[in-house]
Amino acid sequence: MGDEPDLDPDINKDFFENYVLQLDPSLLTENGIKYFERFFKAVNCQEGKLVAKRRAYMIDDLELIGLDYLWRVVIQSNDDIASRAIDLFKEIYTNFGPRLQVSQVVIHEDFIQSCVDRLKASYDTLYILGSDKNSINSARQEAIHMVRVLTVLQEYINECDNDYHEERMILPMSRVFHGKHLSLTVQFPSQGRQVDDLDILSHTDDTVGSVRQCIFNHIKARVGHTKIELFVGGELIDSEDDKKLVGQLNLRDKSLITAKFTQTSTFKS
């Protein structure tokens, strides 16, 4: 089997529903989840529910064939297989096709609510099992189910948050508290004017964009007319990384940053 199932397109859906979706999710192997993913994408593309775009897939109909089974794989499979299923969830449910673009807010709310409903059902079951000493294994399994659903929710929210490129008024949970405090030293190579080294007090949960803005403020530059390139250890920190946290770049206390700035347009008098 290559990138697409090698069955006749006319029987793909029948084979997928009557054979692949009848497999016990807890017994899926690495090859099994690969075959499921390929059939899942091929059948839903054939039915117009997914749209293939280059190497990515966009969801264009929420009633995906095999969606319930995918949830079962997330909850019932071993950790490695469940992780693959969660990645598939993240890929499909965070890329919207043309028909669903205008309904993103409703889709987000419905998906989050479905996760909450699953968590509540597991919690209720766990509460009942907690009073039965003979149900320790069942309680442990139900707790694993809850962790899996929480992981789906976390990955989903993180992926959606990464698609938003502006600074939020209400910070995401990962940034509502200060991380480890850091002192960063910024040096400016001679570029026609002398600029003293800049010491910036930051922390591991601060964003790279905040550090860049601090440098802008220091040299009193207008963001729309000046471009600043930041280098750490000779490697460029791209502006697309501005949403990343300082801690994600492995910057340590007393780290040295080199800043180079250029004018991108001229000022009118």
Residue 16 confidence (pLDDT) above 90: yes
Question: In this predicted structure, what is the pLDDT of residue 29?
Answer: 94
Would you say the C-alpha torsion 50, 53, 58, 60 has a positive or negative sign? negative
Question: For 39-48, what is the mean pLDDT?
Answer: 93
Question: For 233-256, what is the mean pLDDT?
Answer: 82
Encode pLDDT of 118-145 as tens digits.
Answer: 999 999 998 888 777 778 888 889 999 9
What letter does residue 60 receive in the DSSP assignment?
Answer: -
Q: What are phi and psi of 181, to 5 degrees?
A: -70, 140
Encode pLDDT of 158-210 as tens digits.
Answer: 888 777 666 677 776 666 677 888 898 988 886 656 667 889 888 988 888 88
Question: In this predicted structure, what is the pLDDT of residue 119?
Answer: 95
Residue 26 confidence (pLDDT) above 90: yes
**Higher model confidence: residue 166 or residue 152?**
152
Residues whose CB is less than 8 angstroms from the CB of residue 201 and which lie 6 or more positions away in sequence, other chains included: 181, 182, 183
The highest-level CATH class for domain 174-263 is alpha beta
Would you say the C-alpha torsion 39, 42, 46, 48 has a positive or negative sign? positive
Q: How far does Cα 122 stand from its chain's mean position? A: 25
Question: For 237-244, what is the mean pLDDT?
Answer: 80
Question: In this predicted structure, what is the pLDDT of residue 241?
Answer: 80
Residues whose CB is less than 8 angstroms from the CB of residue 238 and which lie 6 or more positions away in sequence, other chains included: none
**Higher model confidence: residue 163 or residue 96?**
96
Average pLDDT, the chain: 84
Q: What are phi and psi of 180, to 5 degrees?
A: -70, 130
Q: In the chain, helix, strand, coil percent, each to 5?
A: 50, 15, 30
Encode pLDDT of 49-62 as tens digits.
Answer: 999 887 789 999 99
- In the chain, where are the structural domains located? 9-162, 174-263
Single-letter code of the amino acid located at 239: S
Question: For 213-241, what is the mean pLDDT?
Answer: 77
Taking the model in full, what pTM does it have? 0.69
